[in-house]
Amino acid sequence: MEIGGAYGYSAIWHGTCCAYHWWTRLTSLEIDPKLIEIAQQNVEEAGLVDMVEFVPGDARETLGTIKTPFDFVLLDCREWLYVEMLDMLAAKFMAGRYLSG
């Protein structure tokens, strides 16, 4: 999970890691449609289209639509959103499923 995809630089690095672990994918949440377009192009040029999914919109709204559990988060959004995002992520974080029961 990546919150704040920007130009896709981190998505390429993490998508490359996903390529080595066929059961994993990166989901990147990004609010700016123009940045998603650029990131998708960069990910495509890197040959990682199957490893990275981009979800457009405000992560505070789109995070609730993600049903797939995740075990890693790159929180790369505006700093003033970190605490709010961490609270939202804690409820969905895969590791929390093991800790809670």
SS (H, E, C) 12-80: HHHHHHHHHCCCCCEEEEECCHHHHHHHHHHHHHCCCCCCEEEEECCHHHHHHHCCCCECCCEECCCHH
Joined together, the tokens standing for residue 75 give 């929180």
Q: Higher model confidence: residue 42 or residue 88?
A: 42
Q: Which domains does the chain have, with CATH numbers?
A: 2-100 (3.40.50.150)
Q: Tens digits of per-residue pLDDT, 9-66? A: 999 998 898 888 877 889 999 999 999 999 999 999 999 999 999 999 999 999 988 8
Q: What is the pLDDT of residue 94?
A: 58
Joined together, the tokens standing for residue 70 give 């995740």
